[in-house]
Amino acid sequence: LYPVLVAVIMAVGFHEKVSRITMLSIQLAFTGLAMLYKGGGEPLSFLGVAVVFLSSLCYAVYIVGVNRSSLRGLPTEKLTFYALLFGLSVYVVRLRFCADLQAIPTPGLWINAVSLALFPTIVSLVTMAAAIRAIGSTPTAILGALEPLTALFFGVVVFGERLTLRIVLGVVLILVAVTLIIAGRSLHIPFPHLRFRRAR
């Protein structure tokens, strides 16, 4: 959802021109992600939908803010530090100022915790901030659709999850969307130098 919100914010708030290729990429990525979703038969929760929308909106505002505010001039390492510091403050309050904090009992869980803090958190935030400054907010948000594909890959390869036709089609749609974004600037009408005159 957040790639759509990023495109809307950039178009409405900053008058960024959204090309047809970008709109097509958003639609393909959104459809592909919907096909990857596997529901458990539970009824749709309005509160759950609202929380997901709010989460996506906050993420979209962050992506746009990195590119279109004074944060753009902040070094990537400092930006990541402040983002993690804000997240830490939220968790401290959520844990009742560490009153509900539990010790990690085993070395294996320590490895998992450190890996979780390093790869999908620090590395992800640093590389995303660099990508936003390099290619812009909207393309970065659409390329973020590759994130579920990574989880899907490890789910199938490591945990033996079942790969269905619906999931394969969803993966294909996301890859097409990402390919269009990457190659979007090089796509043009063939033989642009030719000029055709109207027949009299």
The answer on pLDDT for 111 being more than 90 is yes
Which residue stretches of the chain are H helix? 2-14, 20-36, 46-68, 76-94, 107-117, 124-135, 137-143, 146-157, 165-183
Domain count, the chain: 1
Lowest mean pLDDT among 7-11, 91-95, 184-188: 184-188
Assigned domain for 53 exists: yes
Q: Percentage of the chain surpassing pLDDT 90?
A: 12
Examine residue 197 and state whether it is found in any structural domain, yes or no. no
Residue from 152, 88, 150 nearest 119 by CA: 150
Going by pLDDT thresholds of 50, 70 and 90, the confidence category of residue 198 is very low
Is a pLDDT exceeding 50 seen at residue 200? no
pLDDT score at 127: 92
pLDDT > 80? residue 189: no
**Residue range 187-197: average pLDDT?**
43
pTM: 0.72
186 — pLDDT class (breaks 50, 70, 90): low
Q: Are the C-beta atoms of 64 and 137 separated by less than 8 Å?
A: yes
Distance CA 113, CA 98 (A): 17
- Determine, yes or no, domain membership for 200: no
**Tokens matching residue 149:** 């594909």
What pLDDT score was predicted for residue 30? 84
Q: Is residue 194 part of a domain?
A: no
Cβ count within 10 A of residue 42: 7
Is 128 contained in some domain? yes
Is 106 part of a structural domain of the chain? yes
Instruction: Indicate whether 193 belongs to any domain.
Output: no
Indicate the average pLDDT of the chain: 82
Residue 67: domain span: 2-185
> How would you write 70-84 as a 3-class SS string?
HHHHCCHHHHHHHHH
Q: Find tokens 């989880």 and name the residue.
A: 151
Question: What confidence tens digit (pLDDT) does each residue in 26-60 have?
Answer: 888 888 888 887 666 667 678 887 898 899 899 89
Q: Is residue 49 part of a domain?
A: yes
Which of 96-100, 103-107, 108-112 is least confident?
96-100
SS3 121: helix
Cα separation of 108 and 116, whole Å? 12
> With pLDDT > 70 as the criterion, what percentage of the chain qualifies?
88
* Contacts with 4 (C-beta within 8 Å, 6 or more apart), sequence order: 26, 30
Exposed, middle or buried, 77 (CB in 10 Å: 0-12/13-18/19+)? exposed
